[in-house]
Amino acid sequence: MALAPDVTEIVFALSAGDRLMAVPATANYPEEARRLPHIDPDNVESIVAHRPDLVLATTAGNDPRIVGRLSALGVRTFTVDPTSLKRVAESFLLLSDLLGVPTSGRELERNFSSRVARARERAAALPPGTGLYVVWWQPLMVAGPGTFHHDVLAVAGVANLAPAGAGRYPRINPELLLDPRLDTLVVPDEAEMRAAFSRLAQDAIGRRLTSDAVAVLWLAADPASRPGPRLVEALEQLVELRSRAVRSGALPSSAPASTPTHPRPGKPTL
């Protein structure tokens, strides 16, 4: 049994999806996952009722108290900790060993890691950026250090402005969006996020984001929000969007000599 959509995707990518008896309702990929029975990952009774031999969880979205209660009840559990792209790749190996399909795990890890390396090489040819990964607009929540989102930014050549020591996904003062160093915002492309962005655009801070000062890059939401095999697709998309932004003038074609104090010309959203 899987308690999160990213773990579900890993199991299917390892060609072991036929072993899953239930998944959360949010597990909508691949298509076969949609047809499995649903469990509430925050309801111990719902989980135990299925009598699973093994429960797979993740620190990226599951409540550790639920996992602890399951363990206390004698339910065999295993939790992956995908706090970086490297750890995401390592989770493929860990789960494949656990499920007895190590060859599949090695193939998945090699493919993922090689694509990350290629994206890193391509990003290295772009001018460095400074930005934020926005998890929610109001209140403003961003990805901080120690998250796979932070790592995606770093590999794509974007230095994270999120404050260190404030937690993995802290709420921050919206005035950080006025920081003159900020040139890139990376956002999961969801209807709610688009609507919130439109509302935000009505105030002074939001108007800066819709000006030519900041490039707002929208990533396909599911790959960008799930630390599984498709996360590399989000990384590749981010590098491509940054490349387009440089070509269009929304991002500088070379590193500035000093911290910019005026907006740069160009198209802000992609």
Same domain, 131 and 237: yes
Same domain, 185 and 132: yes
pLDDT value of position 204:
79
**Which carries the bigger pLDDT value, residue 257 or residue 48?**
48
**Which carries the bigger pLDDT value, residue 84 or residue 251?**
84
Same domain, 142 and 236: yes
pLDDT value of position 253:
65
CA quadruple 65, 66, 67, 71: dihedral positive or negative? positive
pLDDT value of position 268:
38
- CA angle at residue 177 from 173 to 180, to 5 degrees? 125
Same domain, 99 and 185: no
pLDDT digits (tens, 9 = 90+) for 161-214: 999 888 899 999 999 999 999 999 999 999 999 999 988 888 878 888 887 789
CATH of the domain at 209: 3.40.50.1980
Nearest one of 183, 170, 176, 248 to 211, comparing CA atoms = 183
With bands split at pLDDT 50, 70 and 90, how would you rate the model's confidence at 101?
very high
Same domain, 105 and 147: no
**Residue 81's domain spans which residues?**
5-110
Peptide bond preceding 139: is omega within 30 degrees of 0, i.e. cis? yes
pLDDT value of position 264:
36
Phi, psi (rounded to 5 degrees) for 117: -65, -40
**Which carries the bigger pLDDT value, residue 150 or residue 138?**
150
Alpha-helical (H) ranges within the chain are 5-13, 31-34, 44-48, 64-72, 85-99, 102-124, 148-155, 191-200, 204-209, 221-225, 231-248
Cα–Cα distance, 27 to 45 (Å, whole number): 20
Match 């974007």 to its residue by tokens: 158
- Is residue 163 within 8 A of residue 170, CB to CB? The reply is yes
Q: Kindly state whether residue 115 falls inside one of the protein's structural domains.
A: no
Q: What interhelical angle do 102-124 and 148-155 show, nearest 10?
A: 50
Q: Kindly state whether residue 269 falls inside one of the protein's structural domains.
A: no
Say what percent of the chain tops pLDDT 70.
93
Cβ-in-10-Å burial (0-12, 13-18, 19+) of 45 comes to exposed
pLDDT above 90 (res 130): yes
Same domain, 9 and 85: yes
**Which carries the bigger pLDDT value, residue 8 or residue 254?**
8
* 164 contacts: CB under 8 Å, gap ≥ 6: 144, 145
pLDDT digits (tens, 9 = 90+) for 7-25: 999 999 999 999 999 999 9
Same domain, 99 and 141: no
pLDDT value of position 257:
39
Same domain, 150 and 240: yes
Same domain, 82 and 147: no
Q: Kindly state whether residue 116 falls inside one of the protein's structural domains.
A: no
Same domain, 200 and 96: no
pLDDT value of position 206:
81
C-alpha 187, offset from chain centre: 10
Q: Kindly state whether residue 84 falls inside one of the protein's structural domains.
A: yes
pLDDT above 60 (res 266): no
pLDDT value of position 203:
82
Domain count, the chain: 2
With bands split at pLDDT 50, 70 and 90, how would you rate the model's confidence at 28?
very high
Same domain, 192 and 94: no
